[in-house]
Amino acid sequence: MSEPSASSSATAVRSGALALAWTGKRLPLQVLRSAAGQYIGTQDDEGPVSRESVEYFPTHLAAQRALDTHAWTQRAQP
């Protein structure tokens, strides 16, 4: 099964590329919080799995807007 493309419906759930690469899990992207700020990442039942965004955002709303509008940068695999 392939990942939804950027041109897919805005309602499509997008999963984290790093989470998939590191754990094999397709986890939905969401806004998460750390001491450094809000970021776009993934989590499972045990807690955070990956920070997908290069950026940290000052507020949850700013991070959610970036996620909703694709206005964020995907971190590369190390």
Query: Following DSSP, what letter does each residue of the chain receive, concatenated?
Result: -PPPPTTS-TTSPPB-HHHHHHHS---B-EEEEETTEEEEEEEETTEEEEE-BS--BSSHHHHHHHHHHT-S-BPPP-
pLDDT cut 90: percent of the chain above it: 81
Where exactly are the structural domains of the chain? 17-69
In this prediction the pTM is 0.81
pLDDT at position 23 over 60: yes
Q: What is the mean pLDDT of the chain?
A: 88
Q: Of the ranges 8-12, 49-53, 59-63, which one carries the lowest mean pLDDT score?
A: 8-12
What is the pLDDT, as a whole number, of residue 8?
38
Closest CA to 47 of 75, 23, 69: 23
What is the pLDDT, as a whole number, of residue 19?
97
